[in-house]
Structure 1
Amino acid sequence: MTGPLARDLMTPDVVTVPPETPVMAMARLLADRGISAVPVVDAEGKVLGIVTEADLIRRLAGEEDKPTSWFGSLFADPASQAERYARTHGVTARDLMTEKVVTVSPDTTAAHIAQMMEQQNIRRVVVVEGGKLKGIVSRADLLRALVAPPAAEGAELSDERIRRAVLAAMKKEPWTDTFYTMLEVKDGVVTFHGFRRSDAVQKALRVLAENVPGVKEVKDETQPMPVFIYGAA
């Protein structure tokens, strides 16, 4: 037994952006999708870099940067200053992205990924196969692997993989709400919790989940969205 692999832990169907994507478009994307990073890929799907919330915050904070004093400039590293200027004043994903992306293969073990994150002080790794992006494994994914019960021998799809597939499918649809609507999977049965915006949305969610391989049944235990929440949404 080698434990869970990257292919079991990763979030598939990752949202990506081309290098020409404007800064504000990326900020809206992360906020709307509730994600903390977005890979930058070229037309062939090759990963060029990654833009995180920290990069965007650094970009916004850069607007408040004060000029370095004459005395301080004597000891400053011009290369570092130039790099910071580009990342705090850039207007596209290419300007802001971190180019040195830590990647793993789908068969990399969770233990090795955890070791890499610890040693390199990073929050996520990118899963690639054949040079193409396959998914992302975050620290939260590793924590879920620790608390998830082991899959039964011979099981084709674990509950955790089904849960990830449903969640990934939800994030691709503009009418879903992964902030107020949560889900759990047990023995292939998907149960939705939280709040629902409308019966139409919940019907669509049921259809969406039923189309995910491995799902045996879908249960809806959501409650109507409270007025004070719905009005602020």
Structure 2
Amino acid sequence: MNAMPKAKELMTRSVIAISPDMSVDAVARLLAGRGISAAPVLDKAGHVLGVVTEADLIARLAGLKDPPIGFFRSLFTDPEARAERYARTHGVTARDIMTEGAIFVGPDATADEIAHLMEEKHIRRVLVLEDGKLLGIVSRADLLRALVDPVTIPQELPDAEIREAVLTAMKREPWANGFYTTVQVEEGVVRFEGFVQHEGIRRGLQVLAMNVPGVRAVLDNTQPMPAGMMAAV
């Protein structure tokens, strides 16, 4: 099994960065002209201050049509939040509209860690920083390269060792009930016997086994769990 690629191997190094004083109009033209969806904002020392994204620009455009707030409603509105929104929707420089606190990883972050972060934060890219300095950006497109690396030939391992690895992996997953499902391995081929509660568990076991080093194939001989047995689970 291939080692998981790291951020420093996946990242795009030639990053288009902008200064905090660049006008919003210039930022919009830059993103549109280069066909990119975001650009980091750097100070003169090269430290990241934030990121301006297409979403920030669209929010600014939409915010220009915010209706005026009445006196009565203003009594129940956080003035600081209103002022912050006004600054972002009427700002004239990158500093005004940028998203601060950019999400970043270190150069040794692995592809799966980055993917988990993107999914958790609902973002499309992460910055790669070292000592506060920008090294590059990893986008979703960059992550796809982690899935298309050449497949290596499975290493030869004793069947007993493979079986133990499969059982260990099953113990880590609460849905993989080893009490009703047995595992046999012969010449690198994993064979599941017994019963499973759901079709999804059957698919999960197949994927689980194929991710164990040395496994050449998976045979599924399991049966749907009888109703009486399922009631006892």
Common fold, TM-score beyond 0.5?
A: yes
Q: Is residue 27 from structure 1 mapped to residue 39 from structure 2 by the alignment?
A: no
Gaps of 5+ in 1: 154-233
Query: 1: distance between equivalents of 2:84 and 2:137?
Result: 26
Q: Distance in 1 between matches of 2:151 and 2:33?
A: 33
Whole-angstrom CA distance in 2 between matches of 1:24 and 1:98: 17
Provide closer, same or farther for how the CA distance between residues 143 and 24 of structure 1 changes in structure 2, counting only shifts above 3 A.
same
Pair 127,73 (structure 1): closer, same or farther in 2 beyond 3 Å: same
For residues 151 and 9 of structure 2, what CA distance do their matches in structure 1 show?
11
| Structural mapping, 1:20-59, within 5 Å | 20-59=21-60
RMSD, aligned CA: 1.8
| Residue 57 (structure 1) shift | 0.9
3-state SS of 2:49 partner: strand
Give the whole-Å Cα distance in 2 for the aligned partners of 1:18 and 1:152. 44
One-letter code aligned to 1:40: V
Distance 1:86 1:21 in 2: 16
Counterpart in the other structure of 2:84: 83
Q: Distance in 2 between matches of 1:132 and 1:87?
A: 25
SS at match of 1:64: coil
Residues 168-179 of structure 1 mapped to structure 2, 5 A cutoff: none
Q: How much has 1:75 moved relative to structure 2? A: 2.5
Deviation at 1:151, TM superposition (A): 7.8
User: Normalization by structure 1: what TM-score?
Assistant: 0.61
Residue 102 (structure 1) aligned with residue 103 (structure 2): yes
Distance 1:121 1:7 in 2: 22
Q: Deviations over 1:119-171 (max 9, x none)?
A: 2222211001232111111222223422x223879xxxxxxxxxxxxxxxxxx
Task: State yes or no: 1:120 paired with 2:121.
Answer: yes
Q: Measure the CA separation in 1 of the matches of 2:61 and 2:14.
A: 28
User: Structure 2 length normalisation: TM-score?
Assistant: 0.61
SS in 1 for 2:101: coil
The answer on whether the counterparts of 2:7 and 2:109 sit within 8 Å (CA) in structure 1 is yes
8 Å contact from structure 1 (residues 2, 109) kept in 2? no
**Paired AA for residue 133 in structure 2:** K
Note the residue ranges of structure 2 that are not aligned, 5 or more in a row. Answer: 154-233
Contact 1:42-1:48 at 8 Å conserved across structures: yes
